Amino acid sequence: MPKSLTLGNGNMLICYDKFGQVNDLYFPQVGLENHIGKDSLHRIGVFVDGRMSWISDSGWHIEFTTPSNTHMAVISAKNQNLGVTLTFNDVVYNEQNIFIRRVTVKNDLPRVLNVKLYFCQEWNIYQSGRQDTGYYDPGSNSIIHYEGRRVFLINGRVDNHGIDDYTTGIYRMEGKDGSYIDAEDGILSKNSIEHGLTDSVVGFHLEISSGSEIIVHYWVGVGKTIPEVFDLNNYVLEKSPEHLFRTTKDYWSAWVDRENFSYYGLTDDMVSMFKKSLFIMRSHVDSGGAVIASGDSDMLQYGRDTYSYMWPRDGAFAIMALDRAGDSYVARKFFTFCNRVITDDGFFMHKYRPDGSLGSSWHPWVTKSGEFQLPIQEDETALVLFALWEHYNLTKDLEFIEEIYNSFIQKAANFMVIYRDKETRLPKRSYDLWEEKLGVSTFTCATVYGALQSAAFFSQLLGKHDSEKKYHDAANEIKEGIMKYLFNSERGTFRKLFNHDNGIFTYDETLDISSVYGVFRFGILPANDAKLKKAFGIAEERLFCARYSGGIARYEGDNYYRAGHDTPGNPWFVSTLWLVQYYIALAEDEKDFERVKPWFDWVSKMALPTGVLSEQINPYTREQISAAPLTWSHSEYVLAVIAYMEKLEQLGVITSKSLIMERNKEVDNGETHIG
């Protein structure tokens, strides 16, 4: 089930299900510890006229109408049988670790209603499945849940009073379904403390006249000690929930519009999709610099692991997008993180946890024949270095480049120079970007070319001319090798990969969109090269899911989550947007964008109402499948839209303002806000 929305502030990441219930809460690092997760959620219920209904029950009509100008969840839940409409306006406060729900409860009936609004919290602190404590604190009239250095305070306010009713309990143990059962008669038992796998329910009693509405504020303060969450609770009460709500909205409105893009020729839906993508991406960035692929914990229910890791590949694409959208602050944090985790030999491992520790992997250290093999995707190392050059071109932050030249740039570039085959001069075998096949792939070789050219430019800037020549020479050898070994001149396509053993070459001719995209994106051939045009034309023809959903598959015969066998594979947003980016590069005048805009429209229509893009879609039903949201999908949409606007400027269609403005260098002042 795709997540309907995500909210975050760099320390917390919250994910919603399709009913507007919270079922993921990561803290203190984005993607690392999910304190709700699998089989748990935070229910919301309404008790009216002796009847209890949770909003995940039948009878509720739920809509997400998330605005595009701020990072906020807007959810409407209407129940005609009960005569009640709930409207949620939710934020994660940008300056403190506080989640706030502003709930407007409306009486839709022609009589007075006595309504009891319940919030149920099911915790799995540290994902330990035990050892939690939940208790009622009479001094603050709040509920506290804690285990070790993780503490959660639940409180709320309506009119001039706080929580009216409460209980704590356990769930999924000792035959207990959960404390939400206790709420179903409209009276909570006020059990004041429990330990184990704990939950709690808090209630608010409302008397609402016909056609009127009452606002309830509910909040969760998150910290590492009990005194810390008490301070957060006092902060909310002193400043007021409404103040925190308003200032958070204002902050994100300023953040998303910092670059004053023109959006010339784009529809409101396309612009909205662009801004929502930026918010979703930003919520997946940890304050320490890691960019996780997805906060979608539902992946754990269908496989062995989640996507809550930082793949340097996904992270590099996300940072290129955020950087070009104006957030150089978070980009610098990302590169600092990468500088910290790169190996002494100059490469990145498969993936990382947000704290910099090594993530899980399926890449072995030996081949099937028993030979040693680095368990890496070399494109991940190359992409980060390539993204760093783009970062420098945007910021001109030479001091930062000088700071990490020896520890990152030179180290990674030297590895890529050395880690090459003596005969072909191409990179040695590594796993392809899709993490499936071991070999010498076109995409990886193209990224290494782009990275070595970037390293040469950095070396030139700093007067390191021997290194400059070494990197340029290696890059040129790789470019020649790509055209010699990976371009099939008879077919007019670029090979997926090859393996080379004892002088024998084994080619994989699978048509893969990443092969031709890599040749274009990293400068092996110019966009208008005849060979590249032909290769892209073949890729579009054979990978287009024309009969059903539209969109471009990754490669022919892709079986990952495959829905059927009369398509080349499921369409991916990433692969579709790569084709769009190529079309943009080819444009020579404004009318050439007529084949670009329908693709932007296609993405908008395939997205959830909140703007969420998954990894791929079912070509028959158009439902989103696999991880959702996927940061990489949103990254490519943002990159495509910015490329479109930049090309308009290059063509002279828009001239009033530079699309990427000179940025003021941002200094981390040590505050907890993430701006």
Q: What is the pLDDT of residues 307-348, one digit of tens each?
A: 899 999 999 999 999 999 999 999 999 999 999 999 999 999
The verdict on 96 and 192 lying in the same domain is yes
Cα angle 648-535-573, degrees, rounded to a multiple of 5? 60
d(CA 49, CA 411): 69
d(CA 275, CA 254): 12
Whether residue 460 is contained in a domain is answered as: yes
Domain end marker among 239, 255, 271: 255
Whether 16 and 4 have beta carbons less than 8 Å apart is answered as: yes
> 0.85 exceeded by the pTM?
yes
Percent of the chain predicted with pLDDT > 90: 85
The verdict on 86 and 219 lying in the same domain is yes
Domain end marker among 236, 255, 274: 255
Q: What is the pLDDT of residues 631-672, one digit of tens each?
A: 999 999 999 999 999 999 999 998 744 444 433 333 333 333
The verdict on 219 and 236 lying in the same domain is yes
Burial code (b: 16+ CB inside 10 Å, e: under 16) for 51-78 equals ebbbbbeeebebebebbbebbbbbbbbb
The verdict on 526 and 642 lying in the same domain is no
d(CA 169, CA 176): 9
The verdict on 510 and 592 lying in the same domain is no
Question: Would you say residue 675 has pLDDT above 50?
Answer: no
Q: What is the pLDDT of residue 306?
A: 84
The verdict on 478 and 455 lying in the same domain is yes
The verdict on 95 and 226 lying in the same domain is yes
Residue 172 CB partners (closer than 8 Å, separation 6+): 39, 178, 197
The verdict on 397 and 488 lying in the same domain is yes
Residue 645 structural domain: 260-311+544-663
Of 86-90, 174-178, 303-307, 432-436, the one with minimum mean pLDDT is 303-307
CATH code of the domain in which 248 resides: 2.70.98.10
Q: What is the pLDDT of residue 667?
A: 35
Whether residue 340 is contained in a domain is answered as: no
Domain end marker among 230, 255, 280: 255
DSSP E strands in 434-570: the ranges are: 438-441, 487-488, 493-494, 497-501, 504-508, 552-553
Q: What is the pLDDT of residues 65-81, one digit of tens each?
A: 888 899 999 999 999 99
CB atoms inside a 10 Å sphere around CB 159: 10
Amino acid sitting at position 638: V
Length of the chain: 675
Q: What is the pLDDT of residue 304?
A: 64
The verdict on 12 and 77 lying in the same domain is yes
Whether residue 316 is contained in a domain is answered as: no
Whether residue 51 is contained in a domain is answered as: yes
Residue 131 CB partners (closer than 8 Å, separation 6+): 125, 147, 148, 195, 196
CATH code of the domain in which 442 resides: 1.50.10.10
Count of structural domains within the chain: 3
The verdict on 230 and 300 lying in the same domain is no
Q: What is the pLDDT of residue 538?
A: 97
